[in-house]
Structure 1
């Protein structure tokens, strides 16, 4: 990526001089998205500010923010900041969970990098990604010893923004009673704190990671790995959940019938397991990638009140990229998913500045 130096300053401190830099980079894209019924134009331009510095004692610090989220109304999830040194790296804001940092996701496809299909290549981790599942900002710690990396993360357990009226950001939480067939709802101000612990081992041509996360009664175990050989790379991820009654999908240009923070309990389901496989082939300017994902839903209904059964939600995606040079890439992808109940596609050009 071609980096343009936006500004360089010197910080004069009592004990000496420390240098800090602010770099301006960016991304852009333009193309067409097919949502299963119609083809629509889609374009975006982002400016990304990356700031780095180092104290006289050797403590590194920095952060990054995009121009499109710098004015976010949810304090703490607009961009991220970090400090790092001998004892590891501590990052706060719009950061992933320990499990996602250790295990990762499946390969993305399309010129929107999966956004046109709700980012189905991203595993639905219980916590992380900033505002995921209304948990607010996240904190992530990482410490590496040779080939082993250890991770820990947590949310702040609060849905409410600073200085807002009590109840202004409360959530409505519903719970289904299988015996009566009635769904009871209550308004809550805060979530249970969500936290995660994870580790991975990374060698020259493979990586394997294990993660655990918990929020209230909900738990998550994730196991995954990635191996590379010649021009090929393969990824495998398995996630096992308990008492998980919601799932979140993203994507800036999500099409179809997705609903953010989809509540499964209202449909008498909970998320049981997720399986994922991905493959990539890279040769010169050409990259081909694909993924398969299955989300297993368990019914929470019993007896005559049900009429439901366990369900498997399958998603498939394939895409190709051609590097045009100079930071421009021609990309396209196709995704078919039971979550969308449709086949969607995109094609266009994406840029790095």
Structure 2
């Protein structure tokens, strides 16, 4: 949900080669945030209302070969340890993404989506104007990464290799994710495939996504998790947008996940709401939550943001809430 708010571009010429473009972009945020949680025993944990400041800087590079291939790379310096990991640790992407593209499609490696994630339209992104602390997409019921990057039982380290190809309204992708190199017991490679289709109905765009993924091998699992997901979203000419996702998990503590999202934009004002629920397998807890986001564009690059998230974890028997959490943020996103 981070938006580009500051940009500076430089052109670098190479002898005998096409020009390359290097851009510096970023986002600055300031405001307040708060996070609270309540345990089954009624114990309240709160960090109180605090000031919120954040700066996100991204370097983006692009170029073109003599025969028309395009290539590029980006590194997000907001990622933890990004500078050292992206430049010195060859087994950690450090927030970096590298791609090359041509008539064969696009090959991307690094901090990017797996094919299932690429194909799905995340309900939490439908008409979402974003918030300072991403409250609306970090609640307990939110599912935004499926099995990518050590999520839901995967041993993957988050470095992904993906090929995707788009022709008109149709797109297809295949991806691989290596195991976590920090654990020698984890072996093998996870894989995913994704398909998507965009249907234009005279001002209404309907997007369909379908995909399957097997997680990278995790030595802690007898059988590695798998996920099959489908999504449908629509954007209407009147500013309304809506989306739904359904994911069936197997060989996991999770049985299924359902996500719903709604968004509406009119003039300078945007609002978004989403709901998600993980249904646990027998003997495991259900987890659900919802998120809200609203924004008002003041013009000239200044946007007022509000975000709220709430999540509940229910015990395996389904008789009591064992954890409840809430987060909130409010403030300004500034562009220059």
Q: TM-score, normalised by structure 2?
A: 0.79
On the 8 A contact 1:102/1:209 being kept in 2, the answer is yes
Q: Tell me the equivalent position of 2:98.
A: 81
Of 217, 220, 232, 2:240 maps to 232
For 1:99, what is the secondary structure of its paired residue? helix
Task: Say yes or no: does 1:273 pair with 2:256.
Answer: yes
For 1:126, what is the secondary structure of its paired residue? coil
Q: 1:70 to 1:122 in 2, by over 3 A?
A: farther
Q: 1:54 to 1:119 in 2, by over 3 A?
A: farther
On the 8 A contact 1:127/1:196 being kept in 2, the answer is no
> For structure 1, which runs of at least 5 residues remain unmatched after alignment?
161-168, 171-187, 245-269, 300-308
Any residues of structure 2 matched to 1:85-234 within 5 Å, and which?
85-105=102-122, 106-107=124-125, 108=128, 109-114=130-135, 117=138, 121-127=142-148, 133-136=154-157, 137-157=159-179, 159-160=180-181, 169-170=182-183, 188-204=184-200, 205-215=205-215, 216=217, 217-229=224-236, 230-234=238-242
How many residue pairs were aligned?
289
Task: Say yes or no: does 1:70 pair with 2:67.
Answer: no
Task: Say yes or no: does 1:319 pair with 2:293.
Answer: yes
Which has the higher mean CA deviation after the structures are superposed, 194-203 or 324-333? 324-333
Task: Say yes or no: does 1:9 pair with 2:16.
Answer: no
On the 8 A contact 1:97/1:154 being kept in 2, the answer is yes
On the 8 A contact 1:201/1:207 being kept in 2, the answer is yes
User: Any idea what the Cα deviations from partners look like across 1:270-314, whole Å, max 9, x if unmatched?
Assistant: 111000000000011100000000100113xxxxxxxxx454211
On the 8 A contact 2:69/2:100 being kept in 1, the answer is yes
> What displacement does 1:334 show?
1.5
Q: Tell me the equivalent position of 2:60.
A: 50
Q: TM-score, normalised by structure 1?
A: 0.76
On the 8 A contact 1:206/1:226 being kept in 2, the answer is yes
**Distance in 2 (alpha carbons) for counterparts of 1:201 and 1:297:** 30
Of 254, 257, 267, 1:284 maps to 267
User: Any idea what the Cα deviations from partners look like across 1:9-67, whole Å, max 9, x if unmatched?
Assistant: 11223xxx311010111111111111123112221112211111000000000011122
Q: Tell me the equivalent position of 2:42.
A: none
On the 8 A contact 2:139/2:309 being kept in 1, the answer is no
On the 8 A contact 1:95/1:129 being kept in 2, the answer is no
On the 8 A contact 1:231/1:283 being kept in 2, the answer is yes
Q: Tell me the equivalent position of 2:43.
A: none
On the 8 A contact 1:33/1:116 being kept in 2, the answer is no
> What displacement does 1:94 show?
0.3
**Distance in 1 (alpha carbons) for counterparts of 2:160 and 2:94:** 8
- RMSD between aligned residues: 2.3
For 2:188, what is the secondary structure of its paired residue? coil
For 2:15, what is the secondary structure of its paired residue? strand
> For structure 2, which runs of at least 5 residues remain unmatched after alignment?
37-45, 218-223, 314-322
Q: 1:53 to 1:89 in 2, by over 3 A?
A: same
Q: Tell me the equivalent position of 2:220.
A: none
> What displacement does 1:119 show?
8.1
Q: 1:2 to 1:111 in 2, by over 3 A?
A: closer
Q: Tell me the equivalent position of 1:257.
A: none
